[in-house]
């Protein structure tokens, strides 16, 4: 036998073996859940960018709407890829919730939209709801 393998550490997100040993060489296997989380973050970023480009479409409607259509379509494609490994309730809550928070930030910094105490409370409530939903999803997966 060319190599002995100790019990492999387990990835915390997908519960699969995180390390494999090949004849004395240790390889760290990429977690598929991390890939899907990055894809979900890309979906959120393209959704926020596409939706905010609708606001800019007032100046140049054709270009603005085409950019928005392209980015929002890409966001849906990325979201569907992320759903392969992330539970739909958690993924959708993150996609929409962080999208709303991102759009509020862009509205405030880029477009000068007001962000008063009630809006901040609403955004904090959205973030708290996402955290609770994700905690419930993690508890169920374990």
In DSSP notation, the chain reads: -----PPPPB-TTT-SB-EEEETTEEEEPPPHHHHHHHHHHHHHHHHHHHHHHHHHTTTSHHHHHHHHHHHHHHHHHHHHHHTTTS-HHHHHHHHHHHHHHHHHHHHHHHH-----HHHHHHHHHHHHHHHHHHHHHHHHH-
Where do the structural domains in the chain lie, given as residue ranges?
Answer: 1-30, 32-141
pLDDT of residue 1: 46
What pLDDT band is residue 133 in, cutting at 50, 70 and 90?
Answer: confident
Say yes or no to pLDDT of 121 above 70.
yes
Q: Which of 17-26, 27-36, 123-132 has the lowest mean pLDDT?
A: 17-26
């Amino acid at each position: 036998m060319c190599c002995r393998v100790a019990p492999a550490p387990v990835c915390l997100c997908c519960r699969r073996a995180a390390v494999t040993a090949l004849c004395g060489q240790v390889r760290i296997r990429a977690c598929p859940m991390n890939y899907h989380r990055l894809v979900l973050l890309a979906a959120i970023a393209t959704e926020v960018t596409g939706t905010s480009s609708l606001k800019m479409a007032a100046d140049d409607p054709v270009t603005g709407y085409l950019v928005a259509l392209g980015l929002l379509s890409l966001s849906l494609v990325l979201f569907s890829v992320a759903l392969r490994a992330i539970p739909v309730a958690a993924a959708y809550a993150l996609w929409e919730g962080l999208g709303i928070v991102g759009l509020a930030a862009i509205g405030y910094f880029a477009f000068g939209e007001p962000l008063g105490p009630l809006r901040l409370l609403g955004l904090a409530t959205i973030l708290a709801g996402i955290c609770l939903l994700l905690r419930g999803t993690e508890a169920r997966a374990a």
